[in-house]
Amino acid sequence: MILVTGAAGGPQGATGRRVAELLLARGQEVRAFVRADDERAGELRKLGADVVVGDLREITTVRPAMRGVTRAYFTYPVTAGLLDATAAFAAAAREEGVERVVEVSQLDAQPLAGTPRMRRHWLSEQVFDWAGVGAVHLRAAVFFENLAVAADPGELALPLGPPDTRIPLISGADVAGTGAGLLLEPGPVDPVVPLTGQMATIGEAAAALGLPYTDLPPAEWEARAIGRYGDPYAVEHLTHLWAIFRFIGAGDHPLFRVTGETIRRFCGRRPETIREFGAR
Ligand SMILES: NC(=O)c1ccc[n+]([C@@H]2O[C@H](COP(=O)([O-])OP(=O)(O)OC[C@H]3O[C@@H](n4cnc5c(N)ncnc54)[C@H](OP(=O)(O)O)[C@@H]3O)[C@@H](O)[C@H]2O)c1
């Protein structure tokens, strides 16, 4: 039995939803952890998943969901509560003797990372490592979906400086495909898996989405973002994230490397491009 969290799928990448569907298509037994018993939960049941409803921050719902589970996929959206959810999940997985937890982290998860959320991802990675549950950290680049959510109908306005500012990108589908592949892999795998499907400038990325790019002053972006995201935690993370890319600009960074071989190995195909994503 494989436990998949975030299985309903949200706006950030729907990686849990995609992992659940990929595993079910491969004939795996899947327990889908959702927050609400809504239409999406009904669709998962129709696909053959054992649906459990709960809150990842609450051990009373996570612990029973872990019964009989051997492998698990953990994802928690960019909002408050990551470390509560991690602690509950890691404790329950350890108690059950889970052998592999594939969890979604971020490209630069480290204690001195430039956004508070990235530093929390590093802490979360540590907790999963201490739990001894075969943790695999998917250190993912910026999702294509992140730019799509940030876009207005007629433009992509972000505080990223000139259009030649570079960004490491990946599709939610490639994160999920790699996650599912790692869950199905019987042998040992690397505990840290960096994931970048494409390096693009923000001008190229906007064009691939069929939009002109506008450079917004950071303060203006932050003021607009509160209305768009409605979540100060998400705005704090994104404000710092865009500032990092704006600072690097057209320059290079050791993390700006496409990991095509990893994606090919676990997804069975080359990384999706943002142009393909934009044309979907
Ligand atoms: N976006 C990016 O550019 C980017 C880049 C790198 C890494 N990441 C990482 O990707 C992860 C998010 O991706 P994703 O594809 O999973 O996001 P997503 O598509 O937005 O899905 C999040 C899922 O979590 C569920 N959920 C939210 N709070 C919950 C709770 N308390 N208990 C149980 N379930 C809860 C949501 O359910 P409802 O829909 O019912 O609320 C939704 O199904 C984050 O860890 C983020 O740091 C994102």
CATH number of the structural domain spanning residue 18: 3.40.50.720
Q: What is the residue-wise DSSP string for 122-173?
A: HHHHHHHHHHTS-EEEEEE-EEHHHHHHH--SS-EEES--STT-EEEEE-HH
Model pLDDT for residues 150-209, shown as the tens digit of each residue: 999 899 999 999 999 999 999 999 999 999 999 999 999 999 999 999 999 999 999 999
For residue 12, how far is its CA from the centre of ligand 1 (angstroms)? 6
Ligand 1 close to Cβ of residue 16 (< 6 A): yes
Q: Say if 128 falls within a structural domain.
A: yes
Model pLDDT for residues 93-149, shown as the tens digit of each residue: 999 999 999 999 999 999 999 999 999 999 999 999 999 999 999 999 999 999 999
Question: What 3-state DSSP class applies to 179?
Answer: helix
Q: Say if 271 falls within a structural domain.
A: no
d(CA 262, CA 280): 23
The model's confidence at residue 280, banded by pLDDT at 50, 70 and 90, is: confident
For residue 118, how far is its CA from the centre of ligand 1 (angstroms)? 14
Counting from 1 in the atom list of ligand 1, the atom nearest the Cα of 15 is 15
Q: Say if 189 falls within a structural domain.
A: yes
Nearest CA to ligand 1 atom 12: 77
Q: Say if 152 falls within a structural domain.
A: no
d(CA 26, CA 184): 9
d(CA 190, CA 184): 14
Long-range contacts made by residues 220-223, C-beta under 8 angstroms, separation at least 24?
220/159, 221/157, 221/158, 221/159, 222/159
Number of domains in the chain: 1
**Which of 31, 73, 79, 104 should be mutated for ligand 1, with most atoms under 8 A from CB?**
104
Model pLDDT for residues 102-116, shown as the tens digit of each residue: 999 999 999 999 999
Ligand 1 close to Cβ of residue 159 (< 6 A): no
Mean pLDDT of the chain: 97
Q: Say if 221 falls within a structural domain.
A: no
Q: Is 268 exposed, middle or buried (0-12, 13-18, 19+ CB in 10 A)?
A: exposed
Ligand 1 close to Cβ of residue 56 (< 6 A): yes
Distance of CA 244 to the CA centre of its chain: 19
Nearest CA to ligand 1 atom 7: 106
Per the rule left: phi > 0, alpha: psi between -120 and 50, beta: everything else, 197 is alpha
Q: Say if 158 falls within a structural domain.
A: no
Angle at 68 between CA 130 and CA 102, to 5 degrees: 45
Q: For residue 107, what are the domain limits? A: 2-140+172-194+257-266
Residues 6+ apart with CB under 8 A from 207: 213
Q: Is the pTM of this model over 0.95?
A: yes
Counting from 1 in the atom list of ligand 1, the atom nearest the Cα of 12 is 20
Q: Say if 28 falls within a structural domain.
A: yes
Q: Say if 243 falls within a structural domain.
A: no
Q: What's the mean pLDDT in 240-248? A: 98
Structure tokens of 252? 């290079």
d(CA 120, CA 101): 18
